[in-house]
Amino acid sequence: MNKKNVNPMLMMAVLLILLRMVRGNMFSLSSLLDKLLLLPAIIIGLSVHEFAHAFVSDRLGDPLPRAQGRVTLNPLRHIDPIGFVMLLLCGFGWGVPVQIDPRYYKKKRRDEALVAVAGVTMNFITAVVFCFIFRFVSPLLSAGRGIGGIIGMMIIYTVMTNIVLMVFNLIPCPPLDGFNIITQIFNLRKYGWYQKAMQYGYFILLLFIILGGADLILSPVVSVIYNGIINLICY
């Protein structure tokens, strides 16, 4: 197979799913039921993340996201099938990247940074909003029983999923938003290694995940943010 035809995202997804299958009970009944409850959370998290990128770029004068139909909360415009499955099975994933044209920005580095930070900011806002929803509807739900318990679990999963997306995307590794943010802050494009980092970014990210770097960051940081928001808003 020609290397140029290999989709690095697909390769990363297959390897990570195989790794998760080897490590644990990915397809146990309880796991499958949990993943069904995760579906709305994943759809919401990926959609608001990519919408925020498109919306901010559009507001900064870039016509490309609107021309491609990305300035919308319609999930069909934002869901990447591979990224969706990855988030469902492996705990982290991605949507269809929003294409931008920085030529329309008045201050290129500042505006690119604003577009990059928009996605994770929207994930954080969404997590907070669903915390408030949980606070106000939880008295109406049957504690842990029946349809009320299922709805409550789906709301909590939406909070958690948005926090995971926020933290994962802030990892300063290409092609994630975190790397784009520090690229604009420190003007990394002027360095000779930048293009190589972008070229091999997917493989760097894959190695980082396989070696446990993502879990090392995600687990404690997500836990601290999640517990902080829940305790502040819900109790």
Query: DSSP letters of 78-104?
Result: T--HHHHHHHHHHS----PPPP--GGG
Number of domains in the chain: 1
> Strand, coil or helix: what is 176?
coil
Cα distance between residue 58 and residue 164, in whole Å: 26
Q: Is residue 153 part of a domain?
A: yes
Residue that wins the pLDDT comparison between 2 and 42: 42
Q: Is residue 90 part of a domain?
A: yes
At 25-59, the pLDDT tens digits run 555 556 777 888 899 999 999 999 999 999 999 99
Q: Is residue 3 part of a domain?
A: no
Q: Is residue 6 part of a domain?
A: no
CB-count burial class (<10 Å; 0-12, 13-18, 19+) for 160: buried
Cβ-contact 95, 47 below 8 angstroms: yes
25: phi then psi, degrees, rounded to nearest 5: -95, 65
- Is pLDDT of 94 > 70? yes
Q: Is residue 141 part of a domain?
A: yes
Q: For residue 75, which of 45, 35, 34 has the smallest C-alpha distance?
A: 45
Residue that wins the pLDDT comparison between 193 and 85: 193
Q: Is residue 214 part of a domain?
A: yes
Cα distance between residue 68 and residue 119, in whole Å: 18
Q: Is residue 143 part of a domain?
A: yes
Specify the DSSP class assigned to residue 75: G
Residue 77: give the domain boundaries: 26-234
Q: Is residue 151 part of a domain?
A: yes
Please tell me the pTM assigned to this model: 0.89
Cβ-contact 183, 194 below 8 angstroms: yes
- Residue 43: partners with Cβ closer than 8 Å, 6 or more residues away: 75, 79
Alpha helices in the chain (DSSP H): 8-23, 29-59, 64-67, 81-90, 108-137, 146-169, 177-186, 194-199, 201-210, 213-234
At 106-121, the pLDDT tens digits run 999 999 999 999 999 9
Cβ-contact 39, 152 below 8 angstroms: no
The CA distances from residue 46 to 86, 88, 131, 159, 229, in Å, are 12, 12, 18, 13, 20
Across the chain, mean pLDDT equals 87
- Is pLDDT of 77 > 70? yes
Task: Tell me the average pLDDT across 77-100.
Answer: 86
